[in-house]
DNA sequence: CAGTGTGAACCTTTTCACAGCA
DNA sequence: TGCTGTGAAAAGGTTCACACTG
């Protein structure tokens, strides 16, 4: 293949493959089959092969993929050969957790700054970074060439923070606040909502309970089947 | 419609609609058009109508949807008319953040227990709940009829904790550990990986940078277009 | 001959566009 | 008239199955 613009679904899985590949490499593997990689990433092998074929033909028929080379290719495709300075806005519980999360640094994301508006938090050192005032955002972004912002504020502040980030030159935002934020064309937003994930689980859980109920009573089960999310 | 088993994609958006609807209700709205709800949820109106049609015909042509009634229907469909006791395993930074997150309680999720293996953490009170030993998991699950477990441990412990949860009778797991966990048939798992979200953003950010680069040099741009994630 | 790479079939999701109802 | 509800079309994603190759 080797085309511009990889399918969105594939992009979403590349980091998964990358993590699995790095683990394999650390375990000493030099070569890997699509089947093995699939298992480690929690998908099926056809998907792995199709996904990887979008990056190019990096496998060897009858053998598999060279682990180190594939890691390099996936990193390059994802843009992880460079380092990404990020800014976290909102140093509450979640902001704290993210600031201390070692997984970011391991993957090339450096926390350039933490910002908040609470005067009690400013000056505090969290995860090795001193908390600054939100007003310093523009300066920090310019100085460190920050392209990615993370919003960990309450929902009520999310839109304003997003606007400030965009004004400061940030073009990619990861939003943990339980709110929809509006941004101009050209700015990417991804959101993670912890409560939403639980609600989705609750739906399937409830259906499982209903199914068990029906089974117990010996009613027709056909139309309640397939209750688990794939 | 009103069929058993709503499409997965729709289930994923219902909590989004619910949040928007609750906000609308709090703001005093009694009726809402698909267009308005769509905007508040960050999707388009056709999607809203199709999604809601899976629950039944709860709208009024020419008018819209009754906010209070629709909230009730969405809640019922998601299984949020009942309360869900949950258990959080791993009281590190993220576990702390989740234990203190008010959004859970607001949506009917009650933290029945926090468990960890670190003796220094056991007995500590976090977000109003005392941390207990992982060994107490089965007892806690039985006693509180817990159906949902949340894993906030390091990746290395995730699989073991998942197995213990399943053994204790938990059938739905929300996994924050950066690891793929294997569970038996019938157990649902959803995962949230903070670092993966950033990597996906990095991909699109990198592509935007590449596009800007090409533009600056006046090269053909066509095959690099459509760089933003939808 | 084991395992990749990929057309083709299949399934899911999104979008369109408009009939039909309050 | 204004908006829902929904078939039909289009797009996107997954799975199958096998030709091909190191």
A2: contact with B, CB 8 A cutoff? no
User: Which of B 25-64 lie inside 8 A of A, CB atoms?
Assistant: 40-42
Distances (CA, A) of B200 to A16, A83, B181: 11, 14, 21
Whole-number distance in Å between B64 CA and D4 C1':
7
For chain A, which ranges sit under pLDDT 70?
1-4, 216-230
The A148-151 sheet, strands edge to edge? A125-126, A129-133, A109-116, A84-89, A148-151, A172-175, A188-191
The top-level CATH class assigned to B8-78 is mainly alpha
Q: What is the pLDDT of residues B88-133, one digit of tens each?
A: 999 999 999 999 999 999 999 999 999 999 999 999 999 999 999 9
Would you list the domain boundaries of chain A? 8-78, 84-192, 195-224
Chain centroid to CA B110: how far? 15
Q: Is B183 on the interface with A (CB under 8 A)?
A: no
Alpha carbon distance, N-terminus to C-terminus of chain A: 28
Closest CB from A171, A205, A223 relative to B148? A205
Shortest-distance nucleotide from B56 CA to C1': D5
Euclidean distance between CA atoms B119 and B164, whole angstroms: 19
Asked if B65 has any chain A CB less than 8 Å from its own CB, the reply is: no
User: Distance (Å, rounded) from C-alpha B65 to C-alpha A110?
Assistant: 46
A84 CB within 8 Å of a chain B CB? yes
- B198 to A148: CB separation less than 8 angstroms, yes or no: yes
- DSSP letter for A72, please: H
Q: How far is CA A53 from the centre of its chain?
A: 22
Chain D positions with any atom < 7 A from a protein CB? 1-7, 12-17, 20-22
By C-alpha distance, the chain A residue nearest B83 is A202
Give me the sign of the Cα torsion angle B123, B126, B130, B132: negative
Instruction: List, run by run, the mean pLDDT of 10-residue segments along chain B (230 residues).
Output: 78 98 98 98 98 97 98 97 97 96 94 98 97 98 97 97 98 97 96 96 92 67 47
Of A11, A92, A100, the CB nearest to B203: A11
Do the beta carbons of residue B215 and residue B194 sit within 8 Å? no
CATH of domain A84-192: 3.40.50.720
Distance CA A5, CA B117 (A): 45
pTM of this structure: 0.94
Q: What is the DSSP string of A98-162?
A: HHT-HHHHHTTEEEEEEEES-TTTTT-EETTEEEEEGGGHHHHHHHHT--EEEE-S-HHHHHHHH
Name residue B85's beta-bridge partners. B110
């Amino acid at each position: 293949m080797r085309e511009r613009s990889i399918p969105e679904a594939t992009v979403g899985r590349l980091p998964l493959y990358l993590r699995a590949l790095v683990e394999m490499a650390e375990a000493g593997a030099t070569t890997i089959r699509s089947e093995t990689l699939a298992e480690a990433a929690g998908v099926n092998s056809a998907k792995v092969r199709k996904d990887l074929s979008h990056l190019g033909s990096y496998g060897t028929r009858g053998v598999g993929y060279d682990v180190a080379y594939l890691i390099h290719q996936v990193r390059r495709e994802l843009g992880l050969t460079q380092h990404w300075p990020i800014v976290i806005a909102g140093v509450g519980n979640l902001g704290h957790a993210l600031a201390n999360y070692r997984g970011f640094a391991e993957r090339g994301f450096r926390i350039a700054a933490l910002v908040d508006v609470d005067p009690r938090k400013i000056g505090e050192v969290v995860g090795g970074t001193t908390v600054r005032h939100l007003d310093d955002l523009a300066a920090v972004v310019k100085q460190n060439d920050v392209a990615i912002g993370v919003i960990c504020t309450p929902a009520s502040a999310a839109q304003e923070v997003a606007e400030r980030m965009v004004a400061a030159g940030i073009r990619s935002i990861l939003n943990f606040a339980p709110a929809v934020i509006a941004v101009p064309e050209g700015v990417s937003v991804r959101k993670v909502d912890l409560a939403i994930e639980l609600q989705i689980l609750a739906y399937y859980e409830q259906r499982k309970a209903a199914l068990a109920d029906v089974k117990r009573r010996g009613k027709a089960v056909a139309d309640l089947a397939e209750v688990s999310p794939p």
